[in-house]
Amino acid sequence: MPRLALEVIATSVADAVAAEQGGADRLELVVELSRGGMTPPAALVDEILARVRIPIRVMVRETEPHEIADASIADRLAAAAEAIASRPVGGLVFGAVRHGRVDVDLTARIIRAAASRPITFHRAFEALADQAAGLEDLLSLGAIDRILTSGGPGDWPARVARLGALARQGGSRIGILVGGGVSMAMLPDIAAIPGIREVHVGRVARVPESDTAPVDRRVVASLVAQLESLARRHLD
């Protein structure tokens, strides 16, 4: 079994470089991590693209609420998606809900603006009233290739069970990217979930573990080493 791929949140050039040096497989580029991650400026995207070689997914978000009722905000999100997609990024990160369901219309608009580049549907997924139905809605849109989720509410065993159910439902059609408060101690359980192939980390890759601390390449390397060890253990 190959090890789980590791996606690390970066908010700066230094974060991006440190994550790559530590062995991360992909970056999620955001600003304002304390607000859940917002759209980074184009200049930062360009600078990081010039400095690292691993794939980058760029956040398209400018409000903490996941329901976007303001048409002017929707216009700005579409413009941001178009601008980001004009660059050699690996994909975008976006999510929106409306009345407890996937906001299919706005998500489809972002997909069109992004010229069908692959998109991670972010943790807005956890605001859905029916996640199984939401997963099918996302599949119908075509360009959504993964869902970022912590497994939702409840204790860790309940979340693990929910992640497993989502992975079974998605199968080979859409990936489940486990993220949201992931710690080193959670990695064995995550690696044991059938169908889960990647994990997303934020604060745990920083020293100290906070929204404003920098990514530490040594911590990223430790996370990668743990994932490699878990993959070898599975083979044994």
DSSP state of 14: H
Q: To which residue do tokens 């920098």 refer?
A: 214
In a domain, 219, yes or no: no
pLDDT at residue 1, rounded to an integer: 67
The two beta strands, 175-179 and 144-149, are parallel
Global pTM value: 0.96
Identify residue 56 by its one-letter amino acid code. Answer: I
3-state SS class at 100: coil
CATH number for the domain including 124?
3.20.20.380
In a domain, 60, yes or no: yes
Give the DSSP H or E segment for 200: strand 198-201
- Distance set, CA 140 to CA 28, 30, 135, 220 (Å): 24, 27, 9, 35
In a domain, 233, yes or no: no
DSSP state of 115: T
In a domain, 164, yes or no: yes
Structurally, the chain folds into a number of domains equal to: 1
In a domain, 225, yes or no: no
User: CB count, 10 Å around CB of 205?
Assistant: 26
H-helix segments, the chain? 13-22, 42-51, 71-85, 104-113, 131-141, 156-170, 187-191, 217-235
Per-residue pLDDT of the chain (236 residues; tens, 9 = 90+): 689 999 999 999 999 999 999 999 999 999 999 999 999 999 999 999 999 999 999 999 999 999 999 999 999 999 999 999 999 999 999 999 999 999 999 999 999 999 979 999 999 999 999 999 999 999 999 999 999 999 999 999 999 999 999 999 999 999 999 999 999 999 999 999 999 999 999 999 999 999 999 999 999 999 999 999 999 987 76
Name which of 9, 6, 13, 12 is nearest 51 in CA terms. Answer: 13
Query: Which residues lie closer than 8 Å to 1 by C-beta, 6 or more apart?
Result: 231, 234, 235
Structural domain including 83 reads: 5-209
For 147, phi then psi, to 5°, come to -120, 125
Tell me the pLDDT tens digit for each residue of 56-103. Answer: 999 999 999 999 999 999 999 999 999 999 999 999 999 999 999 999
3-state SS class at 128: coil
Question: Distance from CA of residue 187 to its chain's centroid?
Answer: 16
Rounding to the nearest 10 degrees, give the CA dihedral for residues 138, 116, 175, 54: -150
In a domain, 33, yes or no: yes
In a domain, 112, yes or no: yes
In a domain, 205, yes or no: yes
